C-alpha cells in the first residue's frame, strides 16, 4: 500500500501544494518556497488579459460543439449495435470501432493530415478529378468542426461500451409486454429503452459538464501551430505557453488553478442538480 499512497502524497498533494506559486512570483533560483509573494497579483493580471478570456471562450465553444455533436454519436451507435441480431457481426464492428481509442493523438492528427491535408487523400482525389482543392487542416474556420470529427473518430466507438452495458440490462420481458400491448418500435424505444438508459446518459452528461473547461489538451496543442492560437488556444494550451514556454510560472499556475477550482465547482453543482432530478449522479 505504501508505494502507491506515497505516489499520491508526493505527486498529487505535493503538486497541489505547489499551486501556492499562483500567489507568488516564481524565481527558479529560489525554488517554490522561497519565491516572493505577490498576493492576488497574478490573478489580477489574468482577469485583465484579453488572451486569457479568448482562450476561455474558445474552450467553451469547443466544449459545447463536442457536447452537441459528439455526445449523441456513441448513443446512436450503441442502439444500432444493440439492435443487431447477428452477434458475430456485432462483435466484429465493436472491435473495429473500439480500436481508434487506443491510438495516440499524435497518430490521429497525423492520420487526419494524411487524409484531409494539402496533399492528402481528399485533395489529391479532388485534384485528380479536376476539382479545386480545399484547405481543411490549416484553416482556422474549419478547425472546430475538424476537432469534433477527430473526437468522434477516436472515441465514439469506445463510448458505446457503457451504453451497450445499460442496454443489455434491460429486461426483454418489458419489450415483450410493450409489444403485446401494441407498442410499435418507436413507442418501445421511447417508453422502455430510453428510461432504462437515462441514468447512464445523465451520469455521462454530468461528467462532461464538470469537465467542460478541459477539451483535449493534446489534440489542441498538436494542431495549434497549423491553425494559429486564434482558433486553437484553450485554457490548457494558454497555461502551457505562458508557463512552460514563456517561463511566467506564477501567472500560468494562476490560470491553471482558476480552471481547477471552477471545474471542481461545476462537478459539484452538476451532481447536486442530478440529485434534485432524482438521479444517482457521480457520487452520493
Partner 1 sequence: MSARTRPGWLEKPKPVTQAAKAMALAAVVLLVCVPFLVIVSTSLASTDEVVANGGWVLWPTEPSLDAYRDILDGGIVTHALAVSAGVTIVGTLLSLACTVTLAYALSRPGVFGGRPALLLILFTFLFPPGMIPSFLLVKELGLLDSYASLVLPVLVNVFNLVVLRGFFQGIPEELYEAARLDGAGDWRVLFSVVLPLSKAALAVVGLFYAVAYWNSWFYASLYLESDHWPLQQVLRTYVVAGSGLTDATTGEGTVTAPQTVQMAVLVIATVPILLVYPFLQKYFTKGVLTGAIKS
Report, in Å, the least distance between residue 34 CB and partner 1: 11
Cell of 49: 488579459
The residue among 88 and 132 lying less far from partner 1, judged by its C-beta, is: 88
The residue among 127 and 230 lying less far from partner 1, judged by its C-beta, is: 127
Rule CB under 8 A: is residue 176 a binding residue for partner 1? yes
Of these, 146, 252, 270, 274, which contacts partner 1 (CB under 8 A)? 252
Report, in Å, the least distance between residue 110 CB and partner 1: 5
Report 111-150 residues binding partner 1 (CB under 8 A). 111, 113-115, 119-121, 124, 127-128
Rule CB under 8 A: is residue 163 a binding residue for partner 1? no
Of these, 23, 52, 163, 240, which contacts partner 1 (CB under 8 A)? 240
Among 162, 158, 236, CA closest to 199 = 162
Q: Between the CA of residue 16 and those of 13, 46, 246, what are the distances in Å?
A: 5, 20, 21
Beta-bridge partners for 37: 24
d(CA 42, CA 64): 28
Query: Residue 188 in contact with residue 175, Cβ under 8 Å?
Result: yes
The residue among 62 and 200 lying less far from partner 1, judged by its C-beta, is: 200
d(CA 74, CA 61): 21
Query: Residue 97 in contact with residue 160, Cβ under 8 Å?
Result: yes
Report, in Å, the least distance between residue 49 CB and partner 1: 16
Report 15-44 residues binding partner 1 (CB under 8 A). 15-19, 21, 26, 31-32
What are the DSSP calls for 214-274, one per residue?
---HHHHHHHHHHH-HHHH--HHHHHIIIIIIT--HHHHHHHHHHHHHHHHHHHHHHHHHH
Report 210-239 residues binding partner 1 (CB under 8 A). 217-218, 221-222, 225, 236, 239
Report 253-282 residues binding partner 1 (CB under 8 A). 253, 256-257, 259-260, 263-264, 267, 282
The residue among 10 and 64 lying less far from partner 1, judged by its C-beta, is: 10
Q: State the CB neighbour count (10 A cutoff) for residue 209.
A: 17
The residue among 83 and 139 lying less far from partner 1, judged by its C-beta, is: 83
Query: Residue 117 in contact with residue 185, Cβ under 8 Å?
Result: no
Q: Tell me the window of 46-54, 63-71, 171-179, 191-199 that interacts with partner 1 (CB under 8 A).
A: 171-179
Rule CB under 8 A: is residue 88 a binding residue for partner 1? yes
Rule CB under 8 A: is residue 86 a binding residue for partner 1? yes
Query: Mapping DSSP to helix (H, G, I), strand (E, B) and coil, where does residue 187 land?
Result: helix
Amino acid at each position: 500500500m505504501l508505494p502507491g499512497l506515497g505516489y499520491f502524497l508526493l505527486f498529487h498533494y505535493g503538486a497541489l501544494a505547489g499551486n501556492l506559486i499562483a500567489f507568488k512570483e516564481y524565481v527558479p533560483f529560489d525554488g517554490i518556497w522561497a519565491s516572493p509573494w505577490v498576493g492576488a497579483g497574478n490573478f489580477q493580471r489574468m482577469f485583465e488579459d484579453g488572451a486569457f478570456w479568448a482562450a476561455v471562450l474558445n474552450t467553451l465553444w469547443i466544449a459545447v460543439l463536442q457536447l452537441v455533436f459528439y455526445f449523441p454519436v456513441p448513443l446512436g451507435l450503441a442502439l444500432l449495435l444493440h439492435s443487431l441480431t447477428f452477434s458475430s457481426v456485432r462483435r466484429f464492428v465493436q472491435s473495429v470501432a473500439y480500436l481508434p481509442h487506443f491510438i495516440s493523438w499524435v497518430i490521429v492528427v497525423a492520420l487526419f493530415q494524411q487524409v484531409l491535408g494539402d496533399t492528402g487523400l481528399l485533395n489529391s482525389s479532388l485534384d485528380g478529378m479536376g476539382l479545386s482543392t480545399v484547405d481543411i487542416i490549416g484553416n482556422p474556420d474549419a478547425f472546430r468542426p475538424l476537432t469534433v470529427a477527430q473526437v468522434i473518430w477516436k472515441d465514439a466507438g469506445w463510448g458505446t461500451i457503457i451504453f451497450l452495458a445499460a442496454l443489455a440490462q434491460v429486461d426483454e420481458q418489458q419489450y415483450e409486454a410493450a409489444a403485446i400491448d401494441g407498442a410499435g418500435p418507436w413507442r418501445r424505444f421511447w417508453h422502455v429503452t430510453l428510461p432504462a438508459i437515462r441514468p447512464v446518459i445523465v451520469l455521462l452528461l454530468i461528467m462532461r459538464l464538470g469537465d467542460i473547461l478541459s477539451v483535449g489538451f493534446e489534440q489542441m496543442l498538436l494542431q495549434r501551430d497549423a491553425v494559429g492560437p486564434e482558433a486553437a488556444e484553450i485554457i490548457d494550451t494558454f497555461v502551457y505557453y505562458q508557463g512552460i514556454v514563456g517561463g511566467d510560472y506564477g501567472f500560468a499556475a494562476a490560470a491553471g488553478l482558476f480552471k481547477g477550482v471552477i471545474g471542481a465547482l461545476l462537478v459539484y453543482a452538476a451532481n447536486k442538480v442530478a440529485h434534485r432530478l432524482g438521479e444517482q449522479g457521480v457520487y452520493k
